[in-house]
Structure 1
Amino acid sequence: MEDLERDLLKFKGFYFQHKAFDTGFLENLDDFEIRDDDVFIVTYPKSGTIWCQQILSLIYFREHRKRTENVETSYRVPFLEYCSRHIDFGKTPSPRLFVTHLPYYLVPRGLKDKKAKIIYVYRNPKDVMCSYFHYLNTYPIFKAADSIEAFMKQYLEGKVLGSLWFDHIRGWYKHRNYFNIQFMMYEEMKKDLRSSVLKLSKFLSKDLSEETMDDVVRQASFENMKDDPLANNENMLYRHVGSKLQEGHFLRKGTIGDWKNHMTVEQNERFDMIFQKQMKDFPLQFIWDVNKTQN
């Protein structure tokens, strides 16, 4: 666990990946020029980030839907905080699409003009934790905790990339009126992708034809993404993180309720107590099981 913490760098109260960290860019991020038609996906890690990159790429880029260009979604919708060394954002044509794990207080102040749009995607924190645990143990560079118990302690202390899940979602929701923001639940997207794409397209003022909607929904399905080298993020991770410990896909399951296969009854009860304390009176709903509704 200490090895994993050494791979992180805390900047203004938030944990970043040390090797990909560009201090100069982040020191001046508050002044980053925002365009009115910019779109930002905001997520806590392992909350559907790659999936949303693919959905936006399919909505905005006809050449991506029609497979006429060989461009990965990680370049079409780059990470704001981790791609500044490789992409000149000032020269990127509009509309620019970004993805970020940043907390509300570190994003450029121009986002508070409420013209650029933010899509905040959230997922139930038990599935986030278990997905995070598998991800870190897939790549040897991360030297992750060797048990879910050890990682749960680290996760609940916020000593991971993205810091504390509770702080991230509460911060963005509490300050939502400062931004032009749409909250999307990962589990609702899984249950009804078509309705979720329609909701997103309306928020983005993108009038999609039935044919385009069909293409977006089909290509954004988990199974299609998993085998798509332009969308599954494996090439980017290989370039920047290194090879995996085992065979298989970076996109592992993407299911709802997989936490039940990893957490003991005691761990689940302990997690629930912390969740209830941290999220008391929090208005957004969560789905914990694929067969259950919100609670």
Structure 2
Amino acid sequence: MEPAEKYLFTYKGFYFQPDMASAEYLDTLEDFEIRDSDVFLVTYPKSGTIWTQNILSLIYHEGHRDGTEKVDLLDRVPWLEYNIRNADYISRPSPRLFASHLPYYLAPKGLRNRRAKVVYVVRNPKDVLASYYHFSKTSRKLEEVEDFGIFMERFLAGKVLASLWLDHVEGWYTHKDDFNILFLTYEEMKKDLRSCVLKLCNFLGKRLTEKEVDAVVDQATFNKMKADPRANYEFMPPDLMDHSKGHFLRKGTVGDWKNTMTVAQSERFDSVFKERMEKLPIEFCWDIHDEL
């Protein structure tokens, strides 16, 4: 059941990718200097991270909205714990946008002064699982597990990158009062993107004109993003992504887990997750046709 050390290593009870982060670097994040204008997008993997990265980029960067700047997402909204391009985050001009999969207890302690902002996006875990499974086939940095049943058991046990979904979501929700945080669900973004963009703008203190909001919503639709190499991580080198097997952005739907899981597997999933999920103050949507 334990994942191979080639693909994952444990740091303070949490799984990271070994050749993209080190314990020494992660040690420095506790005292990472936080600015009041910083914005952190936090997710569990495959929960709409790239989508929300793109939305934040469109909200903050006029050049992205009007298509005049050819800057990819890794430079607009870089990863805090995976500084792939060795960027100098300290000298980065404000406002700085960051993406992260960190659990609440590994977040920089400066975030707890509640001035910088955290946007946390959560997605129903069956779709997360299905998306994670398909993504593992395209990523050269994740162990490919052909058998979905085996992959599901690893996911249910938290033996995957970013560890246990329940712990991640529960941790950020339980400690929400420690942070200046906005929670969004992937499903509400799918059902009413414009409302979510307005909610983000309000939380971030960003005043956009109606025309600018329209542009953000239009460019943040799944099909527009999938066609945009800057948004679809097509700049990732072949040693990180096997582009012949698929893309970062695959379907972007709600309820695709039904095309991957058997009834028995869905029931097995419920038997492990349901009790703790029922204690979370989130209404989970399992199908795009369900009412939120």
1:256 maps to what in 2? Answer: 254
Residue 239 of structure 1 and its aligned partner are, at CA, apart by: 5.5
Q: 1:143–1:288: structure 2 CA closer, same or farther, 3 Å change rule?
A: same
1:289 maps to what in 2? Answer: 287
Residue 274 of structure 1 and its aligned partner are, at CA, apart by: 1.6
Counting matched residue pairs gives: 292
Q: 1:155–1:230: structure 2 CA closer, same or farther, 3 Å change rule?
A: same
Bigger fraction of residues in helix: 1
Q: 1:213–1:233: structure 2 CA closer, same or farther, 3 Å change rule?
A: same
1:241 maps to what in 2? Answer: 240
Which SS does the other structure have where 1:92 is aligned? coil
Taking structure 1 as the reference length, the TM-score comes to 0.95
1:54 maps to what in 2? Answer: 54
Q: 1:133–1:84: structure 2 CA closer, same or farther, 3 Å change rule?
A: closer
Asked if the contact 1:133/1:148 (under 8 Å) is kept, the reply is: yes
Q: What is the one-letter code of the residue matched to 2:291? A: T
Query: Unpaired segments of 5 or more residues in structure 2?
Result: none
Residue 160 of structure 1 and its aligned partner are, at CA, apart by: 0.7
2 CA distance for matches of 1:128 and 1:260?
Answer: 12
2:181 maps to what in 1? Answer: 181
Residues 202-226 of structure 1 deviation map (CA, whole Å, 9 limit, x = unaligned):
0001111011001100000000000
1 CA distance for matches of 2:210 and 2:288?
Answer: 28
Residues 4-35 of structure 1 deviation map (CA, whole Å, 9 limit, x = unaligned):
55410100000001110132221121110000
1 CA distance for matches of 2:21 and 2:155?
Answer: 21
Which SS does the other structure have where 2:16 is aligned? strand
Residue 278 of structure 1 and its aligned partner are, at CA, apart by: 2.2
- Out of 272, 275, 281, the residue aligned to residue 273 of structure 2 is 275
Which SS does the other structure have where 1:182 is aligned? strand
1:26 maps to what in 2? Answer: 26
2:83 maps to what in 1? Answer: 83
Q: Higher mean Cα deviation, 79-88 or 264-273?
A: 79-88
Q: How does 1:46-195 map to 2 (within 5 A)?
A: 46-83=46-83, 86-195=86-195
Residues 216-259 of structure 1 deviation map (CA, whole Å, 9 limit, x = unaligned):
000000000001011111212x266143352x432110000000
2 CA distance for matches of 1:87 and 1:240?
Answer: 20
Q: 1:31–1:2: structure 2 CA closer, same or farther, 3 Å change rule?
A: closer
Asked if the contact 1:17/1:161 (under 8 Å) is kept, the reply is: yes
2 CA distance for matches of 1:286 and 1:223?
Answer: 24
Residue 70 of structure 1 and its aligned partner are, at CA, apart by: 1.3
RMSD: 1.5
Residue 138 of structure 1 and its aligned partner are, at CA, apart by: 1.9
2 CA distance for matches of 1:175 and 1:2?
Answer: 29
2:221 maps to what in 1? Answer: 221
Asked if the contact 2:138/2:247 (under 8 Å) is kept, the reply is: no
1 CA distance for matches of 2:67 and 2:277?
Answer: 43
Asked if the contact 2:138/2:241 (under 8 Å) is kept, the reply is: no
Which SS does the other structure have where 2:162 is aligned? coil
Q: What is the one-letter code of the residue matched to 1:282? A: L
Query: Unpaired segments of 5 or more residues in structure 1?
Result: none
Asked if the contact 2:140/2:240 (under 8 Å) is kept, the reply is: no
Q: What is the one-letter code of the residue matched to 2:102? A: L
Asked if the contact 1:232/1:250 (under 8 Å) is kept, the reply is: yes
Residues 91-138 of structure 1 deviation map (CA, whole Å, 9 limit, x = unaligned):
100000000000000010000000000000000000000000000012
Residue 53 of structure 1 and its aligned partner are, at CA, apart by: 0.7
1:231 maps to what in 2? Answer: 231
Taking structure 2 as the reference length, the TM-score comes to 0.96
Q: What is the one-letter code of the residue matched to 1:263? A: M
Q: 1:191–1:280: structure 2 CA closer, same or farther, 3 Å change rule?
A: closer
Point out 4+ residue stretches in structure 1 off by more than 4 angstroms.
1-5
2 CA distance for matches of 1:263 and 1:144?
Answer: 18
What is the identity percentage for the equivalent residue pairs of Structure 1 and Structure 2? 55
1:202 maps to what in 2? Answer: 202
Asked if the contact 2:77/2:99 (under 8 Å) is kept, the reply is: yes
Residue 84 of structure 1 and its aligned partner are, at CA, apart by: 6.6
Q: What is the one-letter code of the residue matched to 2:285? A: I
Q: What is the one-letter code of the residue matched to 2:288? A: V
Residue 59 of structure 1 and its aligned partner are, at CA, apart by: 0.2
